[in-house]
Structure 1
Amino acid sequence: MSTTPPVLAAELALAWADIQRHHPELPDLAAPESLIGESSSACGAELSFERLLHEAVHGIAAARGVRDTSRAGRYHNRRFLAIAEELGLDHIDEPHPSSGFSLVTLNPEARRRYRSTIERLGRALKAHTAATATDTTRSFRGPAARHGSSGGGVRVKAVCDCGRNVRVVPSVLAQAPIVCGGCGKPFRIPEVAAVG
């Protein structure tokens, strides 16, 4: 197994810490590796420093008790937008009909402030992409793919031995076990019974 994911997780944690230096109320990033397996999310952006800053907006909103999204996290409202502006993200003038103000971009000042962090994370992301590039025609993409989904940010139900369940992106669960706090056993995606 490649050592790139732990390196990338460490770089994500360092980048998050850099954001925290400028915005101390931002909570710690509990699981940087959870961002690695998702090529997309409800926010619709690939993993990058800009995406990390977008996620930091959600973190600050949560710390403040601000509801910054609706429609199961897809629609980013004006409260999200106000915090995004604080963190150095620009936005379009009008909201997108289904995702609101989710499409934010780094403004020039933020790009200068985080330049070295952006470059360092960019190198780690490039190395991760190169190390994980595989022949997708022979790779297993999990239950979401079997059900016709692209599998990118699609979460599926994972269960543990005591019957608790969580929604998780299959590729994230494949990277390392997620352990239940109740029974101490790992969550797993139930096999889909074959029909025939």
Structure 2
Amino acid sequence: MSTTPPVLAAELAVAWADIQRHHPELPDLAAPESLIGESSSACGTELSFERLLHEAVHGIAAARGIRDTSRAGRYHNRRFLAIADEMGLDHAEDPHPSSGFSLVVMRPDTRKRYRPTIERLQRALKAHSAATTSDTGRSFRGPAARHGSSGGGVRVKAVCDCGRNVRVVPSVLAQAPIMCGACGQPFRIPEVVGVG
């Protein structure tokens, strides 16, 4: 098994921490591995630093108690747009009919601020993509669990010892442990006891 996924998860955590340095109210990224290996039709394309900033907008909205999407998380509203602007992201003048303002891009000053982090993450993403392509032939795409889009695999409930749970694609959990931020223990898929 390749060691790339844990390396990529670590780089995602480092990149997220860099965003937090500039935006302290951004909550911790509890499970970087959850960003790896799921398809995304609601929020955009491949996982990248720009994609992390997009996810960080959702994180800040959640921390502020702001509802930044509708239509099962597919439509990104003007509240999402306002936070995206704070984070150095630009957007189209008019919303997309089905996804609203989901397609945001980094402004040049934002790209400059995060340049070293962007370069580190790009190297990790490239290595992960090469390993994934050569090992399985599957393509690597961005996260979508929160948005209910199809194509990312069936998500199941994984639990930790303190009782918290997350929904995760089993193959993502198999790549590397997802650690609970509250108790420090790994999330696991409970065994189902058959009746017979």
Range into which the TM-score falls when normalised by the shorter chain:
0.7 to 0.9
Sort the Cα spacing of 1:97 and 1:187 in 2 relative to 1 into closer, same or farther, 3 A: same
Q: How far 1:158 moved relative to its partner?
A: 4.7
**Residue deviations 1:81-134 (CA, integer Å, cap 9, x gap):** 000000011000111111100000001110110011111100000011111214
Alignment match, 1:186? 188
Alignment match, 2:8? 8
- RMSD of aligned Cα (Å): 3.0
Matched residue type, 2:188 = P
Q: How far 1:155 moved relative to its partner?
A: 4.3
Contact kept in structure 1, 2:90 and 2:107, CA below 8 Å: yes
> Tell me, what secondary structure is at the counterpart of 2:90?
strand
Distance 2:99 2:37 in 1: 22
Distance 2:87 2:51 in 1: 12
Alignment match, 1:65? 65
Alignment match, 1:168? 168
**Residue deviations 1:119-157 (CA, integer Å, cap 9, x gap):** 1100000011111214657x8xxxxxxxxxx96435444
Instruction: Give the alignment's TM-score, normalised by structure 2.
Output: 0.77
Alignment match, 2:114? 114
Whose Rg is larger? 1
Instruction: Give the alignment's TM-score, normalised by structure 1.
Output: 0.77
Give 1:1-196 correspondences, 5 Å limit. Answer: 1-40=1-40, 42-134=42-134, 152-158=151-157, 167-176=167-176, 186-187=188-189
**How many pairs were matched up?**
174
Structure 2 gap ranges (5+): 139-148, 160-164, 181-185
Contact kept in structure 1, 2:88 and 2:110, CA below 8 Å: yes
Sort the Cα spacing of 1:23 and 1:159 in 2 relative to 1 into closer, same or farther, 3 A: closer
Distance 1:189 1:98 in 2: 39
Q: Which has the higher contact order (CA 8 A, sep 6+)?
A: 2
Contact kept in structure 1, 2:91 and 2:101, CA below 8 Å: yes
> Tell me, what secondary structure is at the counterpart of 2:15?
helix
Distance 2:100 2:121 in 1: 27
